[in-house]
Each structure stands twice: as C-alpha cells, then as structure tokens.
Amino acid sequence: MLLLSGGVDSTTTGAILREAGYDLYALSFDYGQRHRIELRSCYESAKMLRAAQHKVVEIDLRAFGGSALTDEIDVPKGREIAEDIPITYVPARNTLFLSFALAWAEVLGARDLAIGVNAVDYSGYPDCRPEFIEAFERTANLGTKAGIEGTRFAIHTPLVNMTKTEILREGLRLDVDFGKTHSCYDPAPDGAPCGECDSCVIRARAFAELGIPDPAITAIS
Amino acid sequence: MLLLSGGVDSTTTGAILREAGYDLYALSFDYGQRHRIELRSCYESAKMLRAAQHKVVEIDLRAFGGSALTDEIDVPKGREIAEDIPITYVPARNTLFLSFALAWAEVLGARDLAIGVNAVDYSGYPDCRPEFIEAFERTANLGTKAGIEGTRFAIHTPLVNMTKTEILREGLRLDVDFGKTHSCYDPAPDGAPCGECDSCVIRARAFAELGIPDPAITAIS
C-alpha cells in the first residue's frame, strides 16, 4: 500500500518496494491542493510503477483551512530553508493519509504500508519524522481487527534517512523517470515549477549535486 | 472537538463536555453508511448540544469496502453478543475519524478532542479501547505542529469505563433527549430501529435495567 503523490520521494519509494518484490497498490488524494498538477503526476507515477491498482480519494481539507497548499496564502519563496515548520504544513496530513491507507490495506489484506517521508531534507514537517511513523504504526496495530488479531502492519519508510541527492541516485538506479515527477508547491498554470519554493530549491540542489539536469525542467524549457 | 454520530454515546459525551465548560465543535461523517438516519440524528444532536459549529465531512469508505455498515452485507441479528470482532466493524474507522478531528482541531487552535468510545459494552471493536486511544494521542502529538511545539492534544473518553446503563443515567442527568438519538445498525426506511442488531440489543437492555422506556421507541410506536 503505497502513498503516492507523484513527487520524487513517493515515486522512488514505490520503485524500491517494487524491486523488493511487492505488488503495489497506490493511493493518492485529491485534497483540494492548489497545485492540481500533482494529481496528473500521481497517475503518471502509478503507471510508471506498474501499480496493480491505483485509487484517488477525494478529501476536502479546504473545509478546515490552515495551509498554503490548500488556502489562498502565498507560498514563501527565496527564503533560507530553516528548521522551523513552514506555512506549507498541512494540519495532520500524513496522519490522515496513513489512516486511509490503513483502511484500504485492511480490506485488501495488505499489511505493508509505504510512505516516502524523509527526515533529512524534510523542510520541517513533524509528520515526516521516524517517531511519528512509529507512533502511527503502533496506533494501526491497536486500532484494527488485523492488528490485534496478530498479523501486524508495518510502515515502510525507505527514504527516511536519505538526503535528496541519495534519493535521486536511488531512483535513477531503479529507472525512475523524474521528468514525470512533480515537486513544486506553486507551479504555473502550465505545470512549470516556480523554481523558488522550498521544494523546488531542495530538488534543484540535489540535481546540481549529482551534476545532471532535472529532466522535468528540460522537458518544459 | 467532538466526534458526533448522533448516537447515545457521542451525544452523552458532548453533554458531559458541555457541562465541564467546553465550547463544542462537532464533527460528523457521511461515510456512505447504509443507515442514513445516522446523519439526521447527528444534526439533531448538534442542535441539542448547542454546538458552536458542526461540520459533516464526506468520506467515501465504500471505495474500500469491507463492512456491513457500508457494504451490502446482512447485519447479524439475534446473535449472542460475543467478544469477537463483529462484521459491522469498519476498517480503521476511528483512526480516520480522529485524524479528521485532529486536522480541524489544529486549524481551530483546539487541543481537546472527545470521542464516545466505550470499552465495556463495546461490542468487540478494537478502535474503542483505551490502548488505541492512547496510541492515537501520542501520534497526534508527534505528527502535528501544535503537538511538537508543546501545546499538547488530549483525547477525552469520558465513557470508556461506563456500562451502557451508566451512560444512559449520566445522559438523563444532563437532560439528553435520547428520543433524538439513533443506535440501530439496520433501521427500517422510516428510521425505526430493527430491535435485533447488537446495538439495539445493548440499548434495550440498558433502558430495561433503568426501568424506563426508550423514548426513541416510544416516539415511533
């Protein structure tokens, strides 16, 4: 059960699990994110990863408000990437996403959940840290029929201790086409990345460190 | 932040918190449950409890399937209420509901979440047990900005160790109109309870123990 946004991290996570022999059931969300291109990327990624099934669940986080990714708040640009939690934080997002993944996994009989969280270049999100993932795994095993009956859920986070550069390198080894992945928090209407938000900056630095062009940029320019 | 289904337990939970001085923000779900009357009851309950706000979030659990409450599976009737997990179990339901409550609470600045779970007459659901609630609370405090910045979330479960009879007694003391609450897993199209599912049986036993008629039955007959 792969949480798939269509970005670098979730797509690479899928490629790692596929290599490990798992069949992939990909789960994406239409949560009123402003960058609708994320949805297009998740379909492309699911196809690239040859997922056995792909579901897109609609959840209306805008009803609650509270984030630059769902509200009409300006995404910060050109700032130093700091250790504090940015305005692009979406309240309880990974808790919600993992809860849906858990529900679907239990119905399918799947016990392995995967999420592309990363605690190195993680841009300050609390719900990308290993302590959070461990706490959710415990919750999953206490709050489900499958969990308390003894077939335990495991949450896989193969990228958690990797830098973005290491993630790209691993993805390239596994033939991920990063030209089809999307990272920008505030793309232009045609899908072109802004190049200035945290996510664009982290991605650009990683491609620069590898000394190769970003195929998503090349595809557009 | 009150999770409100419009049943005996969530309505009584709300009344207890209101008495304790909390303003109530009620959250209900339209999750494709077969008993649509549950939705009507949650509006009635929110009104009765004078909630400051009431939101109904639509989530499509039917997309995943797997429960008598959302699928076209017969609700078991007339069985002995056993310790095993019944077919009416909805995968990861309370994990999902609490995740949405957490998201809204964080946006509102609320730190107190309440859920009417009950581990005595709980009919076998794993996600009604105190261990699960504690694990979710820990997850909430690790996976949110508010939690890790130190204003901790608390999940209140005032009914967790009460029998259904004790819950009714407490509700009556707090002027809950149980005629407006709904418990049945498989009501008739007019909303009349079946009288035979686990939930009806537990409710009927409790009213019988108190020696008073169930106003929801009286209202219909």
DSSP assignment of A11-73: HHHHHHHHHTTPPPEEEEEE---S-THHHHHHHHHHHHTT-SEEEEEE--GGGT---TTTSS-
Q: Is B103 left (phi over 0), alpha (psi -120 to 50) or beta?
A: alpha
A149 — pLDDT class (breaks 50, 70, 90):
confident
Select the residue of A55, A61, A127 nearest B143 (Cβ to Cβ): A127
Judged by CB atoms closer than 8 Å, whether chains meet at B142 and A148 is answered as: no
Contact A199, A183 (CB under 8 A): yes
d(CA A98, CA A66): 20
Residue B58: the pLDDT is 85
B180 or A73: which leads in pLDDT: B180
Judged by CB atoms closer than 8 Å, whether chains meet at B66 and A106 is answered as: yes
Nearest CA among A14, A46, A17 for reference residue A29: A46
d(CA A22, CA A17): 6
Instruction: Say yes or no to pLDDT of A86 above 70.
Output: no
Residue B38: the pLDDT is 74
Instruction: Say yes or no to pLDDT of A82 above 80.
Output: no
Residue A219: the pLDDT is 54
Mean pLDDT on A21-49: 87
Residue-wise burial string across A42-51, b where 16 or more C-beta atoms lie within 10 A, e elsewhere:
bbbbbebbeb
E-strand ranges in B9-114 read 25-30, 53-58, 112-114
Instruction: Say yes or no to pLDDT of A221 above 70.
Output: no
A190 or A204: which leads in pLDDT: A204
- Cα A98 vs. chain centroid, distance in angstroms? 11
Contact A155, A194 (CB under 8 A): no
Nearest CA among A150, A62, A143, A60 for reference residue B115: A143
Element (H, E) at B154: strand B154-156
Residue B221: the pLDDT is 46
ipTM: 0.86
Residue B192: the pLDDT is 85
Q: Going residue by residue through chain B (221 aa), what tens digit of pLDDT does each one get?
A: 999 999 999 999 999 999 999 999 999 998 776 667 778 889 999 999 999 999 998 887 777 765 655 555 566 666 555 556 666 677 888 999 999 999 999 989 999 999 999 887 655 788 889 999 999 999 999 999 888 888 899 999 999 999 999 999 999 999 999 999 988 888 888 888 888 888 899 999 999 999 999 998 865 54
Select the residue of B65, B91, B95 nearest A139 (Cβ to Cβ): B95
d(CA A23, CA A93): 25
Contact A174, A12 (CB under 8 A): yes
pTM for this one? 0.88
Give the chain A residue whose CA is nearest to the CA of B86: A145
Residue A164: the pLDDT is 93
d(CA B1, CA A214): 45
Mean pLDDT on A120-125: 69
Q: In Å, how far are A19, A33, A45, A221, B16 from A12, measured between CA atoms?
A: 11, 22, 9, 24, 48
Torsion of CA B194, B195, B198, B199, to 10 degrees: 80
- The residue assigned the tokens 């309440």 is B114
Instruction: Give the 3-state secondary structure of residue B200.
Output: helix
User: Which percentage of chain A shows pLDDT scores above 90?
Assistant: 56
Judged by CB atoms closer than 8 Å, whether chains meet at A126 and B145 is answered as: yes
Instruction: Say yes or no to pLDDT of A37 above 90.
Output: no
Read off the amino acid at residue B161: N
Judged by CB atoms closer than 8 Å, whether chains meet at B96 and A91 is answered as: no
Pairing of strands B25-30, B112-114: unpaired
Judged by CB atoms closer than 8 Å, whether chains meet at A66 and B92 is answered as: no
A130 touches chain B (CB under 8 A): no
Mean pLDDT on A65-81: 59
* A138 neighbourhood in chain B, CB within 8 Å: 135, 138-139
Segment 61-100 of chain A within 8 Å of chain B by CB: 61, 63-66, 85, 89, 91-96, 99-100
d(CA B69, CA A166): 45
Integer Rg of chain A from CA: 17
Instruction: Say yes or no to pLDDT of A112 above 80.
Output: yes
Q: Tell which CATH classification among 3.40.50.800, 3.30.465.10, 3.40.50.620, 3.40.50.300 matches the domain B2-220.
A: 3.40.50.620
Instruction: Say yes or no to pLDDT of A114 above 80.
Output: yes
Q: What is the DSSP letter of A186?
A: S
Give the chain A residue whose CA is nearest to the CA of B130: A142
* Domain spans in chain A, listed from the N-terminal domain onward: 2-220
Alpha helices in B20-150 (DSSP H): 37-48, 93-108, 130-142, 145-148
A102 — pLDDT class (breaks 50, 70, 90):
very high
